[in-house]
Structure 1
Amino acid sequence: MDSLTKLNNYSEEEKVNFIDFVNTLLAQSVIVAAKESDKRHYRFYEMHAEEIQEYFLFAGWEVKTSENKVITLRNTTGKNKVNLTLFESTLLFIIYKLYIDQLTSLRLVRDVRISNLEIREQFFHLNIHNKLPPREKMTLALKKFQRHSILELVQGNWDDEASEFIVYDSIAEIIKPTILKEMDTWINELNNIEEWEDNEVNK
């Protein structure tokens, strides 16, 4: 039975779940099994992976899963990339670095958790333009990352220094490991740009 036939034979409940899954994946680009709101989508994918993959492939999209139970969606023409400002890219790097540091030091850690304070300390150590980022700008960027299932606020308010975020394994599917080696050069470039916060980069 081909995938189209399988889709047509879905029950009403399966059709609703399929539509919900497709729209969620298109909106987030990733679905994370460890994220509470994504669990039902991940289970649905496990049961219907073949027809979901063929459905997206027909429209020029590739659906993949990782060992960490992360579903990623990539357009075969590269048109679904999210444009990040230099500030957002730097913040994403910092979150990735904190994520890697925790995985390295706590190999059996269940959830990778970071705080706003840790993020701001990393900005301080990078010494970009000799200043910390505005709290409002950081909050907007963190909310953007949550919409794409990279992290999730689990304790406190967005701008509290003690606030905690779970960082999902999806970040390892989004960022190239080589970015850590490239970052020193990138930071030097940022310091040579007067207004770096609102410029976009392709990293």
Structure 2
Amino acid sequence: MNIGEAFHNLRNQEKEDFIRVANRLLSTTFITRKNEQNKKDYYFLERHYELMREYFSLSGWELIHDRPLGVFQLVNTYGFNREKLKMEESIILLIIRLCYEEKKRTELSLAENVLLTTRDIQERYLALKIREKPLDRKVIRETINMLKRYNILQNLDSDPADPDCRLEIFPSLLLAVRVEDIKELYDKLAAYGSGESGIPSGGEEPA
């Protein structure tokens, strides 16, 4: 059965969901069942994975399903449509990834997602001596809002720049920033502290 026939055989509601979920993936890159707002779309993708995968492949996209993490990721096979992060955005993303890894290793919790605060990010930034001044509040706010759009995290309090703002980190972060160990994260952050510019190798681009 070809893609056209398979789509035609869907119920009307499923066709509407197919179009909505496809467009959502194109705009967010990640859909995770660990985000309550994503669960309906995540399970739709599970049920129709082969059809969605073939549909995206026609235009140069690969739909990846990491079942243990509970994450779908859409990747352009030609390297297009990728978010080019500014230096401070890359630093914040790497710090969040570092904090995520350390909390997963040291805290005994049944919660699937990791909780951080904006203060955690600022304190780690200063402790690593990347720059002498704290991160600008506007940069923090804009970066967290950008990562929220990609389903990498969500802020549980209104202002992401508030030091006490709680951030719920989703496992899609592990696909956005792929590293082998904590040392690699420290090395990447040290590269920024030494004045190197640009995004280090390793894929800190979430889309």
Report the TM-score, using the length of structure 1 for normalisation. Answer: 0.90
**How far is the alpha carbon of 1:182 from its aligned partner?**
3.6
Instruction: Tell me if the contact between 2:94 and 2:189 (Cα under 8 Å) persists in the aligned partners.
Output: no
Q: What is the rounded CA distance, in whole Å, between the counterparts of 1:121 and 1:109 in structure 2?
A: 26
Extract structure 1 runs of 4+ deviating beyond 3 A.
Answer: 182-189
> What amino acid is the match of 2:132?
N
Q: Which residues of 2 match residues 88-107 of structure 1 at below 5 A?
A: 88-107=89-108
The gaps in structure 2 that reach 5 residues or longer are 202-207
- Aligned-partner Cα distance in 1 for 2:57–2:71: 18
* 1:154–1:165 CA contact under 8 A, matched in 2: yes
What are the equivalent positions in structure 2 for 1:54-203 lying under 5 Å apart?
A: 54-66=54-66, 67-110=68-111, 111-178=113-180, 180-193=182-195, 200-201=198-199, 203=201
- CA RMSD, aligned part only? 1.9
After superposition, residues 4-19 of structure 1 pair within 5 angstroms as: 4-19=4-19
User: Sequence identity, in percent?
Assistant: 25
By how many angstroms is 1:202 displaced?
5.4
Deviation at 1:184, TM superposition (A): 4.4
Amino acid at match of 2:150: H
Asked if structure 2 preserves the Cα contact closer than 8 Å seen for 1:103 and 1:109, the reply is no
Contact 2:152-2:170 within 8 A present in 1 as well: yes
Q: Whole-Å Cα distance in 2 between the matches of residues 15 and 164 of structure 1?
A: 37
Question: What is the one-letter code of the residue matched to 1:173?
Answer: L
The TM-score, its normalising length taken from structure 2, stands at: 0.88
After alignment, is 80-89 or 104-113 more displaced? 104-113
After the TM superposition, which of the residue ranges 53-62 and 152-161 deviates more from structure 2?
152-161
Residue ranges of structure 1 left out of the alignment (5+ in a row)? none
